[in-house]
Amino acid sequence: MPHDETPAPTQAPPQPQPLNRSSAGSAAARLPAPRLPGAVDAAPAPWLLRLIAVGLVLAALNLRPAITSLGALLEEVREGLHMSGSVAGLLTSVPPLCFAVFGVMAPRLARRFGAGTVVCAGMAAIAAGLAIRPYIGSTAGFLAASALALMGIAVSNILMPVIVKRWFPDRVGTMTGLYSMALALGTALAAAVTVPLTGALGGNWQSGLAVWAVLAAVAVLPWIVLVRDRTPAPGQREATRSGRGSGTASASGAGSGAASGSASASGSGSADRSGPASASVSGPSSASVSGPVSASGSGSGSASAEAPALRITRSRTAWGLACFFGLQATAAYITMGWMPQIFRDAGVPAGTAGVLLAVTMAMGVPLAFVIPRVAGRLRQQGPIVVVLGLCGLIGYTGLYLAPAAGAWAWALLLGVANCAFPLALTMIGMRSRTGAGVVRLSAFAQSTGYLLSIPGPLLVGVLYQHSGGWGLPIALMAGLMIPQMVAGVLAGRDRTIEDEC
């Protein structure tokens, strides 16, 4: 017996018993995998994990300034480029359009190049787009350069939960809260200081927008180191050990079932090419939740039973998450693009209107850290969804009735409502049992959600131009809170996509 290596001296030596094939197989499954000569467990150094955390924070800081800095100066940009209200509405719809189109590409790019490489390229694209867009001098060029920056934002949006799941599998809630908090901080910072920065730089709106390229350039630096590093992530090491042993791992155990599915899309640099743990995100083994799964190791060569890939479009939970994500994105981009203009039209000075937007975004700094931790402890996240939706309804009602008199209160309430974003990211991580499932769910929910959110900001611009006021646009914003709450309650049920696909 493994727990009693020294038999009692009075007992006769046990007679060897014949083992049938099934008992031998189950016994082998319980034995630890043998170590190969020269094999080394390359655990990530503490400095590497700290660098990944720094990279996540810097990347998150750059995921919204391209949008909120523009919202603070939208009136000046419209005048400088001679935009109508409808064209300005189109401009505010570009972010979700780019997120929908380019977000679909993120898992494939991550499989091909590694998630760290893709995020590094994304930060470089943000820096380039923000640096050139103010100086092109035409609406079409401004839109094209904005799309370049938003392409980098889109792929990084998709891969942030993947990198967290892979490198910090035991701290998903904490790390999600950390980068969500950094995202909210970057959003608020750009909204608050863009107008003062523009004044300090001579009152030129081009300089006020271009200065945010510097922050994106700084964010490239830690990802360059991660691209060159070859240390396997914790999940990848588990899959590699399992593959070295018997060549077969149970997906329901602690072996490589989850890890191998996430290895290829969520590592740094060459995670998808770094040894036997590599598996395609959309491949047959990525959706396995039961039965043997090949670890592609150098073991005994036993046959592996491959489970079919997840058909995520069959999952009601996935569709609920996509709709919830899309509706909260609609509210967020309408707020970031149009809220300063709403306050300015109500008589609030431009600088104060920018600070009000910053207050709205800054509410996400503490709440983006608290909400994922609270949500992770609940079996169902529906109650949180309802609370956030009610805050949005009250805030929009106040914005309709007394936009200037209660401006600070409405900004605070709408800031609470906008914290549906970190909640959606948390639910993406909770609604799948494997890293591969998180990759596919993240890509599906975010890409489909952003696609659904495209008409919202554009429709607000059209309604504003043709109605001559903000009554109809604000009524539209308030009305969208109802289906957002319904979709969020559906997505927050205690189940996983593997249960439904």
Is pLDDT above 50 for 298? no
Query: Whole-model pTM?
Result: 0.65
- If one compares 343 and 294, the residue with the highest pLDDT of the two is 343
The DSSP letter of residue 273 is: G
Strand partners, 249: 293
CA distance 158 to 392: 26
Burial of 349 (0-12, 13-18, 19+ CB in 10 A): exposed
What pLDDT score was predicted for residue 310?
A: 65
- Reported confidence tier of residue 336, pLDDT bands at 50, 70, 90: confident
Is pLDDT above 70 for 255? no
Is pLDDT above 80 for 55? yes
What pLDDT score was predicted for residue 232?
A: 53
Share of the chain above pLDDT 70, in %: 75
Burial of 263 (0-12, 13-18, 19+ CB in 10 A): buried
- Reported confidence tier of residue 234, pLDDT bands at 50, 70, 90: low
CA distance 330 to 479: 12
Determine how many CB atoms are found less than 10 A away from the CB of residue 291: 14
The mean pLDDT value of the chain amounts to 77
Both structure tokens of 304: 């592996």
Answer yes or no: are the C-beta atoms of 254 and 157 closer than 8 Å. no
CA distance 208 to 211: 6
Is pLDDT above 60 for 325? yes
Closest to 476 (Cα-Cα) out of 422, 399, 423 = 399
Is pLDDT above 90 for 179? no
Closest to 212 (Cα-Cα) out of 122, 130, 124, 94 = 130
pLDDT in tens, 130-140: 999 999 888 88
Closest to 418 (Cα-Cα) out of 193, 180, 216 = 180
